[in-house]
Amino acid sequence: MFGYVTPSKGELKIKNWNLYQAFYCGVCRSLGKRYGQKARLLLNYDTTFLAILLAGLKKNYYLKDGRCFVKMKKQKFAYGDPVDMAADINVLLAYYKSQDDWKDEKSIGGLLGKALYGFSAKKASTRHKEIDLAIREMSKGVELVESTNCQSPDTAAIPFREMMRALAEYTMKNEAQTPEIADFCAKLGKWIFIIDSFDDLESDIKKNRYNPNTSQAKMYSVEKVLFDADAIMCMYMQDLAEAYEKIKFEDEQLAEIVENVVFAGLLEKTESVLRGCSKFCKKRE
């Protein structure tokens, strides 16, 4: 469920791309500082986006030159509360995911994640009890969805959507724009869950795993379901775009990055996920 929320690099101004990098590397550095070097492996794009969204609202970040020892080059790093918050959330979500992977698939990666990052996750959850609670609530909901074999992606998305809403409400701490941000994050969560369900559809059917689109795929075909999914994904993005319009940013440059993600990045991702279907390509041309 990670890696769907990314900017469209080709549509990004170079100065904005550099700023995006500064946040990506900032979250990475914060992970290392707060949870030890091995936590940097958990870094993902989605929490980088969260850091950018939060920092854009209040401009409560600063940039500092530094050297990255992974990429071996000098560059800027973003620091500040939004970056640290994103790092904490990153740890908690990544830990949840490895727990889930281990439970569902008995994957080695999941077990490794559980074993390696249990301590980090404990540290993060004592820092943010509310987020830990929201994630637990979600995992309860996911269990229910899977045990009832829910075949509506919209219903199946509710636990994840609500976790994102709770997460946003907690990070905003009741300041101005909390409802707008919570709504935006909830809609983003719904989009993430549903695109993920389409992305996994083929492999889930093969491995006989739960997927909310299985019955439709069996009734028609995987190709048809993915082909038709383009229209509904666009409708979810339209709702998300409307939620985005209601947010007021203080930092213009970060607002541009968020806009890029909402209007181009997600669309690009949608197309690349659904391109598993050959008909889709024909339609787009």
Task: Give the binding site for other proteins (CB under 8 A).
Answer: 8, 11, 137-138, 140-141, 144-145, 148, 150, 152-156, 158-159, 162-163, 165, 194, 212-213, 216, 220, 228-239, 241, 259-260, 263-264, 267-268, 271, 284
Q: Which is nearer to other proteins, 8 or 21 (CB)?
A: 8
Smallest gap, in angstroms, from Cβ of residue 217 to other proteins? 11
Smallest gap, in angstroms, from Cβ of residue 36 to other proteins? 32
Q: Which is nearer to other proteins, 180 or 259 (CB)?
A: 259
Q: Which is nearer to other proteins, 82 or 159 (CB)?
A: 159
Smallest gap, in angstroms, from Cβ of residue 258 to other proteins? 12
Q: Which is nearer to other proteins, 38 or 248 (CB)?
A: 248
SS3 assignment for the chain = CCCCCCCCHHHCCHHHHHHHHHHHHHHHHHHHHHHCHHHHHHCCHHHHHHHHHHHHHHCCCEEEEEEECCCCEEEEEEECHHHHHHHHHHHHHHHHHHHHHHHHHCCHHHHHHHHHHHHHHHHHHHHCHHHHHHHHHHHHHHHHHHHCCCCCHHHHCHHHHHHHHHHHHHHHCCCCCHHHHHHHHHHHHHHHHHHHHHHHHHHHHHCCCCCCCHHHHHHCCHHHHHHHHHHHHHHHHHHHHHHHHCCCCCCHHHHHHHHHHHHHHHHHHHHHHHCCCHHHHHHHC
Show Cβ contacts of residue 189 under 8 Å, excluding neighbours closer than 6 positions. Answer: 157, 160, 161, 162, 163, 164, 165
Smallest gap, in angstroms, from Cβ of residue 66 to other proteins? 32
Q: Which is nearer to other proteins, 81 or 162 (CB)?
A: 162
Q: Which is nearer to other proteins, 37 or 272 (CB)?
A: 272
Q: Which is nearer to other proteins, 204 or 268 (CB)?
A: 268
Smallest gap, in angstroms, from Cβ of residue 41 to other proteins? 30
Smallest gap, in angstroms, from Cβ of residue 115 to other proteins? 28
Smallest gap, in angstroms, from Cβ of residue 86 to other proteins? 23
